[in-house]
Amino acid sequence: MNAPIKQPADARKVIILGAGASRADGAPLQAGLIPEFANIIHQRGISGTLRPADQDLCDFFQKFWGANIKSVDWDDETYPTFEEALGLLELANARGEFFKGFGSLPHRTPLAHKIHAHLIGLIATVLDHTLQGINRHHDTLAHSLGQLGWFGKTSFISLNYDLLIDNALRRELEVEPDYAIVFHSVTEALGGGTDTWEPPLLKLHGSLNWLYCPTCNAMDLFPGAKIVARLAHDAPNLVCQTCKEPRLPIVIPPTFFKVMSNFYLQQIWKRAEDILRQADHLIFCGYSFPDADLHFKYLLKRTEINRVSNQDSPSQLPLSEFPSEEEYQPEHLEVFIVNEHAGKTSEARQAEGDRYRRFFRDKANIHWTKLTFEDLAADPTTYADPANWI
C-alpha cells in the first residue's frame, strides 16, 4: 500500500467523532438509550413517585410499543430504537396529524409534543448518568495531539451531544473550544473559565452545554456542564437571564427528519463546510456512516465535489479559457476510517466499508484501518501508517 499523499504532520486534518468514539468512554449507542433509561428508572426505585416527564415516557413506551419499563423484568422487554420512537412523532407533527390519545384541544400543548421534548431530555439524562467518570480516551487523544504539535492543523467535527471531547480539549489547552458561534453569555459552571477560544470543535447536532433563548435569539454556554440534563426537570430555574423566558436545548436527534433551521446551527454547518473543503485528511472515528445522517452526507458530498485547486473555478471562466481535464484537478482528499472495536463481525465491517466506498468518489484514497478509537488516541500517527490499513 502506498503512503498517504500528504504526511499527517503537514496535512490539514479533520477528526470526525461518531457515537463509537463516545462509546469508548462509556456512552451508550443509540440502540442502548432507551434500555439505559429503563435501568436508570429502576436504580432510582420504581416503587417511588416518578417525575412527571419520566411517567409520561413510561406511559408512551407502554401504549405505543408494549414495552413495560416498570416491569420487574424490564431488561427482558423489547424496546424501539430511539430513531423509531422519535421519528414517528416528528413525522406526525410534520403532517399535522395525531395518534389517538396524543393530541389535545387547541389551547393546550399536545401530549405528542411533550413526549418529543421528554425524549430529548432522555438523551441528556442517559448521557449525564453514564458519563460521570474521567474521559480517559478523549483526554488521551487531546494530550497526544498536543505532544505532536498538531493542534494548529487539526479541527474536530462531533456528531455527538456529550462533552467528552469538549472537556478533554479545555483540560489539555486550558481554553474553550471554538464552537464557531458567538455566545450571549458564558456561565462558568465548573470554575476556571476563559474567553480564549480554540481549536475548532463543530458540533453539528448540538451540545448538552448549550441553551437557546428563542425570545432573545441568543445562545448561552455552560462550560463543562451537561445543563440540558438539568433542564429536563428544572426548566423554571433555567429561564433566560435577560428576558426571563424559557430556554431550549439545541439537540438534533438521530432521525431522518432533522430540523436545521436554527441560526446558530447554520453558522456551525457553514464553518464545517469551509473546514472540510480545505482538509487533506478526514479521520472518521467510531462512525458507521448510517443512512439517517443524510444531512451530514450532503455536507460531505458538497465539500468533496466543490474542492478545487488554487486556480480559478472553470465555472467562472469563459468557455474558451476552460482548462483541460489534466490541468484542472481538485485537491487530493484522503479518508481514513477508525472504527474497529471488540466483537465486531466481519459482516458489519463489510457493510460499513461498502457504505464508505459507495459514497466517496476517489476509491483509492479511502483507507480502512485496523485501529480502534483507543489506538488512535494513544498514538494519532497510526492512522497514516499503511501497515495499519486493511
Residue range 193-220, pLDDT digits in tens: 455 668 899 999 999 999 999 999 999 9
Cell of 137: 480516551
- CA gap 220, 235 in Å, rounded: 15
Closest to 352 (Cα-Cα) out of 368, 332, 341, 364: 368
pLDDT at 257: 67
Burial class of residue 177 in the structure, from the number of CB atoms within 10 Å of its CB (0-12 exposed, 13-18 middle, 19+ buried): buried
Reading phi first (left if > 0) and then psi (alpha if -120 to 50, else beta), residue 207 is in beta
In order, the DSSP letters of 213-281 are ETTTTEEEE-TT--HHHHHHHHGGGG--TTT----EEEE--SSS------HHHHHHHHHHHHHHHH-SE
Q: Where in the chain is the domain with CATH 3.40.50.1220?
A: 13-26+134-388
- The answer on pLDDT for 320 being more than 70 is no
Task: Write the pLDDT tens digit of every residue in 301-319.
Answer: 999 988 865 444 444 545 4
CATH number of 13-26+134-388: 3.40.50.1220, 3.20.20.70, 3.40.120.10, 1.10.10.10? Answer: 3.40.50.1220
**Single pTM value for the model:** 0.89
Distance CA 25, CA 166 (A): 13
Give the pLDDT mean for 239-249.
Answer: 91
